[in-house]
Copies of this chain bind each other. A is one copy, B any other.
Amino acid sequence: MSDTDIFKVLADPTRRAVLERLASAEMTATALREGFAISQPAMSQHLAVLRGAGLISERRDGRFVNYKVESQGLAPLRQWLARYEAFWPARIDALKDLLKEMDQ
C-alpha cells in the first residue's frame, strides 16, 4: 500500500467518518450506515476500499460482517509525516540556532 493510496483513501470524508466511528467500537455495515445519506452499496464500496488499504478488517458473523479498525493501518501515514518532518526547515533552523550557540 503506497503513500499515495493511503492519502487517496483518506481523502474521502465518508471514509474518514467511518474510520473515526470504528475507532471507538466494532460495528456492522448496516450500523455504520446510520446517519449517512448513502446507499448500502456505496457504504459497501467504501468499506472495501478501507479494507484494501489495510485500515480496517472484517469478521464474518452469520449474515453480519463486523468491521474494526486495523491498529497499524495508519502507520504509513505516520511514517511519511515523521520522515517529512525530519527535513523540516523549522528543524533545520533549530539546528542552526544550536550550532550558533555552540559556536559562542
Contacts and interface: CB of A to CB of B under 8 A. Distances in A.
A69 B89 contact: yes
A88 to B, nearest CB: 6
A17 to B, nearest CB: 10
A43 interface: no
Interface range for A: 20 to 34
A96 interface: no
A31 interface: no
Given A71-B89, A89-B69, A84 B11 contact: no
A23 B81 contact: no
A23 to B, nearest CB: 4
A90 interface: yes
Which of A12, A23, A78: most chain B CB closer than 10 A? A23
Contact of A19 (B13, B23, B84): B84
Interface of A: 3-4, 7-8, 10-13, 16, 19-20, 23-24, 68-69, 71, 74, 77-78, 80-81, 84-85, 87-90, 92
